[in-house]
Structure 1
Amino acid sequence: MKIIAIEEHWNSVGIRDALDRLPQGARDESVAFNSRGDTQARLEDIGQGRIEAMDAAGIDISLLSVVTPATQALPGPEAVVLAREANDQATAAVSAHPDRFRALATLPTSDPQAAAAELERAATQLGHVGAMVHGRAGSLTLDDPAYDELFATAARLHQPIFIHPQIPTDDLRDAAYRGIDPLTDLGLATFGWGWHLEAGLSALRLILRGTFDRHPDLQLVLGHWGEMLLFWMDRVDSLSSIAKHLDRRVSEYIQSNIHITSSGMLQERLLRHTLDFTSADRVLFSTDYPFHQPDAAAIEQFFAAVPDAADREKIASGNAERLFRLT
């Protein structure tokens, strides 16, 4: 069975160095996770070493995406230059291994107009199959009207936008995520809770802003089994009773404009819950490499838990081929 993994991270040396140079108050502290153990070396390898890891896991194609926060923590001019460089570097990796890699564009969202232009360049000139964004840029949230051109471009070019988690703002961390101890505080604000709440909220705010009414062809992807949205579907749908400006119920947008991926969380119970709330046509596979590195046996066991053979093929590769236009 062909397997396509759609959230497989890498990083450029230029972006890594730029993030490391940021002053303490401007840094995204979650970058500390990128240098633990052999993670940094794995992130920066988009060649033979990565292919060997894919072979060991039984993965046929990986969609490469720059790890959080990509260029979004950087000032606009620097973000534009480094995003272009990263996209060119990813294109070179895909060109060297066209049967194994595709790429999601890195966008300089601290400059919304430049982000839309870079998405167009990546899609039409570089052959990227979508883009990954990491929530807000500074205090500018994804649903701000400044990004409407970006989403219009994505819809027009059929470029899915993957909303990846990003650490909450410093003010919010002071209010809700600090006061235990520094390491626990950071974990609470990132992989333990805050990352996922932020990503799910970004998608929910886009729905409530009417983004999909303006751009019905726009498709989003959420990792980690929907970043809490599916688990709170009944409650968020109650917003439909007061959001009278929307054409449809909140749950309908989730089920028609958002795809869900596993992000390496290969528990059967999470798969079952997801299939209860959305169609098997909207579920995608990913390992969140290199932060998760499931072996071939774990991946085989995961797919064995999909009861229908046709659905198994869709989740393994068919949905990704259709959404990202890989064939």
Structure 2
Amino acid sequence: MSLFRRSKSSNERRADLTRREIVALRRSQVTNSESVDGEGSYRRSRTLSASRPAALDSGSSERLALWQLRQKRRKLVAWLAGLIAAIGLIGFLISQLVVSVAVESPGVGRDDVSIYAGILKEYYSTRPIERLRFMTDRPAMQLFFQERAPEVQSVRVVGGGGLAKGVLQVSFRQPTLKWAVGGKSYFVDSLGITYEKNYFDDPGVSVDDQSGLSPDLGQEIINRRFLSFLGQAIALLREDGIIINQTILPPETIRQVELRVEGRPYRIKMTVDRGVEEQVAEAVHALKFIDERGLSPEYVDVRVDQRVFYK
């Protein structure tokens, strides 16, 4: 045995290493070769550092500041838009609000003005939301007025030229017939609506009451149905060019009527027990027949359904 051993070559030493040691050795060599490429580059199998260069930090902070500024601007614009919308909405609601009302209708006295204003106040007390004019239910308001003041044909509330002010515009029925009975005067319009207060001139059609009945009995029956029938008959005949200048209530009856035609010597007999439109149509047809043949009867009777008599 010699005293001095010969040193092993690198190949001989590698042969003595195990397979696991060889793999670890190769990995260390690769790591050492990558370290010469630069300290700031990313390497495989190396833990990344959380620190960033100062240049990158300054650029990121500028972008963050611009983003925050844009966000503030958006919030400010949205807030201003909401404020303007709220102010506009409040102004609109105030312009539509009706607190005080003035009645506008020609020929109406001061006492009547207070009556209609009181009716409107009563209506608003039952429907306070309708003090906002765009919320007004016009058919319901008109029906409410007509139940308390039948002479009213239509009503409308418009702006009054000031905050929380409104103007009540009232239009009234125009009469086609007037009947004085029992110390009262009743008027009827073209729709057959009966009322007592008239703001127009008295109609040219008068009623000759020959029934001989007591006013109390006549007043109870005539007030509504009979006057409504007369008003519609006169209006429908007028549409066909037949003018009625007098209405006669025959003796001992309040269910029949005779209409005197202007420019003709005869009368038209009708009854409230039949539809007014049917009788008017038959009367118009009969008058055309009489005029074509040059007849001059005493009366034309359309009281029987689908039958016309003349004498």
* TM-score, with length taken from structure 1: 0.25
Greater relative contact order (Cα < 8 A, sep 6+): 1
Report the structure, 1 or 2, having the larger helix content: 1
Report the structure, 1 or 2, having the larger strand content: 2
* TM-score, with length taken from structure 2: 0.26
